[in-house]
Amino acid sequence: MNYTAPQTDMRFVLFDVLDAPSIYAQLPGGEEVSRELVEAILEEGAKFCEQVLTPTNVIGDEEGCHFDKESRSVTTPRAFKDAYDRFVEGGWTGLCGDPKYGGQGMPESVGYVFKEMIESANVAWGTYPLLSAGAVDALTHHGEEWQREVFIPRILSGEWTGTMCLTEPHCGSDLGLMRTRAEPNEDGSFRISGTKIFITAGDHDLSKNIMHLVLARLPDAPAGTKGISMFIVPKFKVARDGSVGERNPVAPGSIEHKMGLKGSATCVMNFDEAEGYLIGPPNRGLNAMFTMMNTARLGVGVQGLGLIEISYQNALAYAKDRLQMRALSGPRRPDKPADPIIVHPDVRRMLMTQKAFGEAGRALCFYSALQVDLVSRHTDPAVKQRADEILSFLTPISKAMLTELAIECTSHGIQVLGGHGYIREWGLEQLMRDARITTIYEGTTQIQALDLLGRKIMGQQAVGLRHFLGEIGAFCQTHSDNAAIAPFVASVARHAKEWEALTREIGTKAAQNAEEIGAAAVDYLFYSGYVTMAYFMAREAEAATRASYAGTAEFREAKLATVRFYFDRLLPRTLTHAAGVRAGAESLTTSVEAALA
């Protein structure tokens, strides 16, 4: 497989559509984050991903990770360690880290652009630094100062990495059933015992030490989720002064044999009175873990985006080269024995679906990342709160939509190649296998849908949605007379009104029957996602048709063609999802009990 970072579109979204510099200027030290600096970072990031990381992708899938029972250790595929060392040498591990702890202090949105490149180049390799970023977030917001001083600098330097240890064999996503326990020691540390499963990067040979962030119960903890605490448990013991000691009694018991992401070590982790430290207050571990989990959920959305992009690039290249049959309107390449398959309308449909979802998803991801910047760095509490409410609302949409669409788009990639897509030699089938887990880990699509509708809409009085609809309304009003994008603006305005109406309808039904929320949730999430993407596509069309737009005419025309395709061919999917929402709970509750008996 080949990959070229789509820097032109990345710059267009970040600067022309979202005007990132205006947001950076509001942040402490943000005036130093110039467009020239950001572009230089992205150019170097592209070189790393294209030249160093992409060649490791197929290697990782073919070799996988290896578990040694005697040493209880995991070895990653060849070339992964060298790529990680070069990643560290390039300073990428601390790109967005706090300078107080050795980071470079760049905005999170710059890191997200680089993250997209990583996920396209090798999504399995990208899981190792992904969870390290989450560990830093959890320690930053919930750790004691000594913990931040000891652990964060070494994670930002790349010397250490992090994991997130939640799931257990018997409880899956229901963390209230977890049994891992934590016994206090006299010196203030704890002994952690239990088994965790499906732990991404639970063990590997890339870094010198691994920091496991573990959910466990204290002896006097109340039952359920109210009795969960979070602990940091190093692979090698770490004292409060930062000195590293002997191997902690925490080790993988095995690694999973998976459908995809074979270069990412997914471990069963056994804790046998392993030494650890409490992070945050007792019995408040779930709050701390959600800080890490929300970071990871946004990151998994970027994984979906990266897979869409690389599948599109390789399918497009094949479609331009593969000769098969003639165009229905007559030969397009009379000098050849057949026309390239890109002339056929349905091949174009599949390619344009990939392209449109990739470009709309990119805007959604980068916009969300800018909200992260406002939440983490803005000095005005009101601005921080509004951004946090929007980010909280968009997180389940971003995670679920981009991962579900990654499965669809990687499937299109295989279909464009036909039989060649199904066999391993071309690499497209690997992308679909890698994509399949993204709708499952860090909360399934169904969990994201319940989070969106049950918690963010019903539980929080739709505050994030109201902010977002207000933003959409302001955009549509401002550009109501813009002839160049009039059809797009009118469509977004109409869908926004229906979105609001659907939300009210669900609320009315749910007041009579709580099952209505579960019955509507997934359709509601998809409806929300398609309208959200339509809004960003309309913004892209507006930016491309501005008098001040400095890009090429070719890029502008390609962008407008993609936007038109989205509105004509993809946004109508909302009709099905609105119908699903309005169908109610009956066909999923009492009326199907006999059918599923």
Give 238's strand partners.
Answer: 244
CA angle 507, 396, 257 (to 5 degrees): 130
Is the separation of the CB atoms in 229 and 284 below 8 Å?
yes
Q: Exposure pattern of 12-39 as b/e (b: 16+ CB <10 Å)?
A: bbbbbbbebeebbeebeebeebeeeebe
| Rama region for 91: left / alpha / beta (φ>0; ψ in -120 to 50; rest) | left
**256 assigned to active site:** no
Are 516 and 566 a contacting pair, CB within 8 Å? no
How far are the Cα atoms of 48, 261, 420 from residue 431, in angstroms, in the given order?
20, 9, 14
Helix axes 381-417, 515-545, angle to 10 degrees: 90
Q: Are 314 and 121 in contact (CB under 8 A)?
A: no
Nearest CA among 405, 402, 409 for reference residue 298: 402
Q: What does the block give as tokens for 587?
A: 């066909």
* Secondary structure of 333-400 as H, E, C letters: CCCCCCCEHHHCHHHHHHHHHHHHHHHHHHHHHHHHHHHHHHHHHCCCHHHHHHHHHHHHHHHHHHHH
Report the C-alpha gap between 531 and 492 in whole angstroms.
Answer: 7
Q: Is 172 left (phi over 0), alpha (psi -120 to 50) or beta?
A: left
Phi first, then psi: give them for residue 333, nearest 5 degrees.
-125, 75
SS3 273: strand
Helices 108-122 and 127-142, axial angle in degrees (round to 10): 150
- Cα R_g (the chain), whole angstroms: 24
**Cα separation, 97 vs 99, whole angstroms:** 6
360 within 8 A of 536, measured Cβ to Cβ: yes
For 500, list phi and psi in degrees, rounded to 5: -65, -40
Hey, what's the torsion of the CAs at 110, 112, 116, 122, to 10 degrees? Answer: 110
Neighbours of 561 (CB within 10 A): 13
- Please pick, among 389, 429, 442, 516, the residue that the annotation labels catalytic: 442
Residue 195: enclosing H or E segment and its boundaries? strand 190-200
Phi then psi dihedrals of residue 66, to 5 deg: -125, 135
Strands 160-165, 209-216: parallel, antiparallel or unpaired by DSSP? Answer: parallel
- 3-state helix vs strand vs coil in the chain, percent to 5: 60, 10, 25
With H, G, I as helix, E, B as strand and everything else as coil, classify residue 165. Answer: strand
Pairing verdict, β 66-68 and 73-75: antiparallel
**Active-site amino acid positions:** 442
